[in-house]
Amino acid sequence: AKRAAANAIISPDFKFGDMGIGGLDAEFSTIFRRAFASRIFPPDLIEKLGLPHVKGMLLYGPPGTGKTLIARQIGKMLNAREPKVINGPEVLNKYVGQSEENIRKLFADAEKEYKEKGDESGLHIIIFDELDAVCKQRGSGAGGGTGVGDSVVNQLLSKLDGVEQLNNILLIGMTNRKDMIDDALLRPGRLEVHLEISLPDEQGRVDILNIHTAKMKKNNVMDADVDIAELAALTKNFSGAEISGLVKSATSFAFTRHIKVGTMAGVAEDVAGMKVNHQDFLNALGEVRPAFGADESDLE
Ligand code: ATP
Rounded distance between C-alpha atoms, residue 63 and residue 176, angstroms: 6
Considering only CA atoms, which of 87, 96, 109 is closest in space to residue 176?
A: 87
Could you report the per-residue pLDDT of 245-285, keeping only the tens digit for each? 999 999 999 988 877 666 655 555 567 788 999 999 999 99
Q: What is the mean pLDDT of each run of 10 residues along the chain (300 residues)?
A: 51 70 89 83 83 90 94 80 85 74 85 84 89 71 54 82 75 93 90 95 97 96 97 97 98 84 59 89 96 56
**Which atom of ligand 1 is nearest the CA belonging to 241?**
16
Work out the number of other CB atoms within 10 angstroms of the CB of residue 7.
11
Of all atoms in ligand 1, which is nearest to the CA of residue 175? 2
Strand, coil or helix: 276? strand
**Distance between CA 211 and CA 21 in Å, rounded?**
8
Give one DSSP letter per residue of 277-296, joined into a string.
-HHHHHHHHTT---SS-GGG
For residue 268, the model assigns a pLDDT of: 57
Q: Whose CA is nearest to atom 16 of ligand 1?
A: 241
CB 56 within 8 A of CB 170: yes
C-alpha 181 – ligand 1 centre gap (Å)? 21
Q: What is the dihedral of CA 225, 230, 232, 235, to 10 degrees?
A: -110
Q: How far is the CA of 153 from the centre of ligand 1 (A)?
A: 26
Question: CB–CB of 278/226 below 8 Å?
Answer: yes
Residue to probe by mutation, ligand 1, list 244, 249, 292, most atoms within 8 Å of CB: 244
Beta bridge partners of 169: 124
ipTM surpassing 0.90: yes
**φ and ψ at residue 218, rounded to 5 degrees:** -60, -40
Q: What is the pLDDT of residue 40?
A: 79
- The protein residue with its alpha carbon nearest to ligand 1, atom 2, reads 63
Sheet holding 169-175, edge to edge: 84-87, 124-129, 169-175, 56-60, 191-196
Give dist(CA 173, CA 171) in Å, integer.
6
Nearest to 153 by CA among 180, 126, 176: 180
How far apart CA 219 and CA 207 sit, in angstroms, is 19
> What pLDDT, on a 0 to 100 scale, did the predictor assign at position 35?
83
The answer for residues whose C-beta is within 8 angstroms of residue 102's C-beta and 6 or more apart is 86, 90, 91, 93
User: Whose Cα sits closest to atom 31 in ligand 1?
Assistant: 240
Give residue 263's pLDDT: 63
Q: Is the CB of 65 under 6 A from ligand 1?
A: yes
In ligand 1, which atom is closest to the CA atom of 197?
Answer: 6
Residues in CB range of 272: below 8 A, 6 or more apart: none
Query: Is 60 in contact with 174 (CB distance < 8 Å)?
Result: yes
Tens-digit pLDDT profile for residues 209-234 = 999 999 999 999 999 999 999 999 99
Helix (H), strand (E) at residue 164? none
Q: How far is the CA of 87 from the centre of ligand 1 (A)?
A: 16
